[in-house]
A and B are shown apart, each in its own frame.
Chain A
Amino acid sequence: MKDKQFWSVAGIIFVLFMIYWFAGHPYFVSERGVMFWSILIVGGVLIYSTRMAKRGEKIFLRTIPGLKAVEEAVGRSTEMGKPVLYVPGIMDMDQVETVAGVVVLGHVAKMTARYETSLNVPVSRAIVMKAARESCRESYLMEGRPDLFHDDMVHYLTDDQFAYAAGVNGIMLREEPAACLYMGKFYAESLLLAETGNSIGAIQIAGTASPSQIPFFVTACDYTLIGEEFFAASAYLSQEPELIGGVKGQDYLKILAISVMILGTFLNFFHDLGWTSWDFLAYLTVQ
């Protein structure tokens, strides 16, 4: 969408919304107003950053060692003539992390297609299998190597957490992949997978937004994408300006969040001292 079109559409939506708001905003849950406006602000900042990036604004994206190592890992597998194992987590496509995992898989598949390296993607959900398969198929097609793609590179194991971990561990021990990539949502199986990968001497890169699993991956893997780094992976690997713009938008939002926290600390302090009657924390609390 061009700038003029974009601002026209945004303006029309804004005017319609203002009419709705000043007409008494029927059906709107007023107690959730703070959350609603926060979403609009956050969404606005992200869209603004994306558009700025698309217009050619130069954006510095720091080097993320874990993502830089992905290509190294695929290269190592190629040199050793061993496959790359990619685990997109154990949850379904209703989790953003799984979707992000499938997105990163697309980029990894491009590399394996380029280097003619074997890729093995065991999945624990049938819908993820279909999505991951499509993603890989497109990647191989885009790299001009559809002949190297076969459906069975993405295959289903089981829905059960520990049965899946046992299955993946079995694959690791039998096939001894040179690189193991874990990108998605993980629970207790994270350490089972990562330690087995470590025992076979594979280079391991993990990415997850599950806070309780990050320490396990940090301990057992060579590189770990912590939280937001994982979500920035697609932008980093594709170098698409629109996606990199979103990452910059996230940084603006972090500054905003820190500012609100500092402001909130002071306002809460003043409230506790009785200098002001406005309970800022109660106002921010989502109903």
Chain B
Amino acid sequence: MFFKRQLPIAIAATIGFLTLFGWFVDEPTIKSFVDDDATQWFDILASFAMFLGALNLLKMQAMKVMKKQKGWQYAALAIAGFAFSFTAGFILLGSYNVEITEFDDPAKVATVLASEINLDEKSTENVLVAVPEGDPYIIETPYFTKNGADNVVEQINAAGGTAHMRATDWGAHISTRGSLFNWMFRFIFTPLSATMFALLAFFVASASYRAFKIRNFEATLLLISGIIIMLGRVPIGGSISAWFILYIVVLALSAGVNTWFKNKTYTLASVVGGVLIVTIAGFIMGWPVDQPAIFYLPVLQDWIYNNPNVAGARAIMIGIGLGIFATSIRYILGIEKSYIGE
């Protein structure tokens, strides 16, 4: 029980106090612990924990495949993907460069090299000629296999040049552009992630549709604010004159008058009166497109965004800040022990 209860709480309390109050202490050892060592310890622990995660993932997916559960094909694909990335990362280097150190006759070497760098022979020759004397020419895209690189080396050597194969260092092959792992990352993983991210656009649309449905006062307010913010942030919003918005306000107010009095004369009077007042006031004062500024969409959206929106967000932020601090204190003092299952 000591190792499952008291010890974890004691460790959490000690490290918690140290990192909390370490910020106020000007002592290099404590500073270095708080700023670097503690986070590095966490990273090391997390790296070891990755093995557990990977094993769990494999176990779960393998069980799905063996039991032929619903969607087992995806599980098989997940295992295949895991195996491929593991192989490309740990077993196959997948990154071999060809380095041409001597090419006394660039035209001959270019006949071989042209197809490797996807240029015509003349352009390839120009590329070789442009290389400063004494410098080697390295084919930019590495080869996935040693054999592939060796074949090119042999062909270049046969064409009168001197070429060598150079393997990328282990570890560097992960980030080397064109390596097998990097290829997988750029051409499989990144597009798949981008696809998921792109789905967000459609989900935002469907979520906005639900949120903007006029059900009550709050939803109406949200709809109006949403329209103002959206229009105010695009170029067309700047072309809509404040006059036009004022006319819309007059119509909205007239709708209110109509609802309130249920009298056609009053409604007509408010529409005509409002439109006349706005038009006459505009002509007398010579309002340009952005005047009166309060009804100009870019200004209006800016005000909504920076005032009511920020006020609400800050209120939430203060609550969150206090909540985080209170929760942290509860963990550090051992008041809250649910995270260890108590």
Q: Show the binding face of A for B, using Cβ within 8 Å.
A: 27-29, 32, 35-36, 39, 42-43, 46-47, 50, 92, 94, 96-97, 99-100, 102-103, 106-107, 125-127, 129-131, 134-135, 137-139, 152, 155-163, 165-166, 170, 174-175, 188, 191-192, 194-195, 209, 211, 214, 216, 218-220, 226-228, 230-232, 234, 238, 242-243, 246-247, 249-250, 253-254, 257
Contact = CB atoms under 8 A, between A and B. Distances in A.
B338 A103 contact: yes
Interface stretch (B256-264, B292-300, B318-326): B318-326
15 contacts: A96-B324, A96-B328, A103-B336, A125-B49, A129-B53, A134-B341, A135-B341, A138-B340, A152-B59, A165-B196, A209-B324, A227-B319, A227-B323, A231-B323, A254-B322
A195 B200 CA distance: 9
A192 B53 contact: no
A42 B313 CA distance: 22
Contacts of A238: 338
Contacts, number: 186
Given A28-B24, A160-B193, A219-B211, A188 B200 contact: yes
A32 B25 CA distance: 10
A103 B340 CA distance: 9
Q: Which 4 A-B pairs have the closest CB atoms?
A: A138-B341, A126-B53, A231-B323, A126-B49
A106 B46 contact: no
B60 A234 contact: no
A46 B326 contact: yes
A195 to B, nearest CB: 4
A25 to B, nearest CB: 10
Interface of B: 20, 23-27, 39, 42, 45-46, 49-54, 56-57, 59-60, 63, 70-71, 74, 192-193, 196-197, 199-200, 203-204, 206-208, 210-211, 313, 316-320, 322-331, 333, 335-336, 338-342
B320 A209 contact: yes
Contact of B207 (A158, A170, A191, A234): A191
A164 to B, nearest CB: 10
B117 to A, nearest CB: 33
A160 to B, nearest CB: 7
Given A219-B207, A226-B316, A246 B60 contact: no
B206 A195 contact: yes
B23 A32 contact: yes
B326 A216 contact: no
Overall SS of chain B's interface: helix
Nearest to A226: B316
B70 A127 contact: no
Contacts of B197: 162, 188
B24 A195 contact: no
Nearest to B53: A126
Contacts of A175: 70
Contacts of B52: 126, 129-130, 156
B338 A234 contact: yes
A211 B313 contact: yes
Interface centre among B52, B203, B313 (most CB of A within 10 A): B203
Nearest to B202: A195
Contact of B26 (A28, A137, A155, A234): A28
Contacts of A39: 20, 325
Contacts of B319: 226-228, 254
Contacts of A226: 316, 319
B322 A228 contact: yes
Interface centre among B316, B324, B341 (most CB of A within 10 A): B341
A211 B50 CA distance: 29
Given A103-B336, A106-B338, A125 B317 contact: no
B41 to A, nearest CB: 11
B322 A257 contact: yes
Contacts of B322: 42, 228, 250, 253-254, 257
A243 B320 contact: no
Nearest to A109: B341
B82 to A, nearest CB: 10
Nearest to A98: B339
A82 B238 CA distance: 52
Given A46-B330, A192-B203, 8 more contacts: A39-B325, A43-B329, A99-B339, A155-B60, A162-B196, A163-B196, A228-B320, A243-B336
A254 B338 contact: no
A189 to B, nearest CB: 8
Contacts of B53: 125-126, 129, 156, 159
A192 to B, nearest CB: 6
Contact of B196 (A131, A152, A166, A219): A166
A195 B26 contact: no
B172 to A, nearest CB: 22
Given A139-B341, A253-B322, A214 B24 contact: no
Contacts of B23: 29, 32
Nearest to A166: B196
Contacts of A135: 338-341
A246 B330 contact: yes
A29 B30 CA distance: 13
Contacts of B338: 102-103, 106-107, 135, 234, 238
A192 B340 contact: no
Contacts of B50: 126, 159
Contact of B71 (A162, A170, A218): A170
A261 B204 CA distance: 36
A230 B323 contact: yes
A92 B20 contact: no
A103 B25 contact: no
Contacts of A250: 322-323, 326
Contacts of A163: 192-193, 196
